[in-house]
Amino acid sequence: METLHVISVSFLIFFSLRKLIQWRDAIRSIQDYPGLRYLFGAETAVMGSRIPYISVGIFSGWKTKHQDFAQFGSDIVSSVSVLPRPRIMFFLADAQAIKDVTNARHRFPKPVDHMGVLSYYGNNVLVTERDEWKRHRKITAPAFTERNIRLVWDVTTKVTEELCEVVWKGRDEIAVDSVTDVTVPITLFVIGTAGFGQQISWIDDNILPAGHAMKFKDAMHVTSENIILKAIFPEWVLAHAPISRVRQFYIASNELQRYMEEMIQSRRSGEKQSLGGDDLFTCLLEANDDGSIEGEAHLSDSEMMGNIFAFLIAGYETTAHSLAYALILLALHQDEQEALYQHIRSVLPDGRVSSYDDMNQLTYSLAVFLETLRMFPPVNMIPKKAEEDTVLTTRTSSGELRTVPCPAGSAIMIHASGIHYNPRYWPDPYTFKPARFLDKDWPRDALLAFSTGPRGCIGRRFGETEAVAALTYLVSRFRIDVKDEPRYRGESMAERRERLLKGKIALTLCPARAPLVFKRR
């Protein structure tokens, strides 16, 4: 027994020394470039929060924002961790360095190995790289046509109007326990209609299509909200799990696939669409079946479904949560809400419902949305990896040029919160100031809410159009305020702000709970 104890201790000492040597070698390979030194690195998902000396925390960037960069006096900060293996990582909050990385796609590819959950229905533009990515991008980008974006505006306005004038009819004051109870259905109905071509509304007809166990909007909602279960459980567990949520996801995901297969068949058979064929799914199918595209460039049916599902995940959840944060910020900043209202009135003085042709004039609505995305980026870290030994360049806080040795295999994390709260680009970054986006020279390379470079979000106009249409309608008809709750009576403005803006991580950042009141104007 004593011998076994000695062997175990000896092994532990040997293992620890070996890890320590590897860790020290990794630090030397970057010439001891300043940064974070922890036992567990940022990629260790089990350590979500920062623990001094133990874990840098995979989610800590949401909270630290630009603080690490300010601490080390540079907009590139290193991180060298010991476990599970010594690993070098760089966090970037420098606009030029980020531009250099994202434009050099072959030297800094996207690590797609761990993104299998997003290829549930098939490979797509989010989970592929190099020539395969080019093939997907070539077909998917043209699907976002002008007629589709116009449809997005019309559908968003119709959905929002139905909520306000039908669901809330006869009510001058509507209190909601969580603002996402408003924004999630809006964006779900918009992506269902303008994305998939399915007529969805607040008024449920309760008719279940033949051959289906779940309605389309429910299948879409349950699948997108629980897609992370696919990464946790194998297929056979999903099919036989005793947990109702897991079983529900399995049923919903199969139902959604069945719906998408039916959509492909009906569109190829020439079945007339009630939306005139302007929905994203139909536009994608048209782009894919275009006779000018040669054999291997075409997407298979599973790749078609994979891409439209990627658009669902990337568009529906992110826009819902960003729109929720925008409404919270407007409720907390009544002066900004009034400025937005007056701007809307100047564009629509007769009180009419806005149209897509008004969008270019509704600059303050867009500014509110962009400022929200700056303060609460849906995705905080955009991963890349160094394929070869290279050098990054940044500037210190004093303005001096500094080179950063970046060995092959290093992980690169483009830090959205870090650059969004970088005072070099955004003066007074912790203050909600939509007007900063009214300046035609605002720093576009320092806003990463839609990623950047060649892999920038192809659905950006879809999301912006949806948000501007919804914000414009809601603010023109309602004053939005914070719901009074007795248990929070006496809290300071700072405490109220912290409570309402507190976030949690789903696939993207979303408000934990924000009760608001909509008061009809």
Q: What are phi and psi of 13, to 5 degrees?
A: -65, -45
482 sits in which H/E element: strand 478-482
φ, ψ (nearest 5 deg) of residue 39 = -70, -50
Cβ–Cβ < 8 Å for 505, 333: no
- Would you call 56 helix, strand, or coil by DSSP? coil
Residue ranges of the binding site: 457
Q: Can you tell me the distance from the alpha carbon of 420 to that of 447, in angstroms, rounded to the nearest whole number?
A: 6
Q: What one-letter code names the amino acid at 500?
A: L
**Residue 199 has which token pair?**
């007529």
* Three-state helix/strand/coil letters over 117-154: HHHCCCCCCCCCCHHHHHHHHHHHHHHCCHHHHHHHHH
Q: Strand, coil or helix: what is 481?
A: strand
Q: Annotated binding site for heme: which residue ranges?
A: 457
Structure tokens that stand for 317 in this block: 């959840």
Token match 């690195």: residue?
41
Q: What angle do CA 518, 519, 521 make, to 5 degrees?
A: 130
The phi and psi torsions of 100 (rounded to 5 degrees) equal -60, -40
Specify burial of residue 98 (Cβ count, 10 A radius: 0-12, 13-18, 19+): buried
Contact, 449 vs 377, CB < 8 A?
yes
75 within 8 A of 424, measured Cβ to Cβ: yes
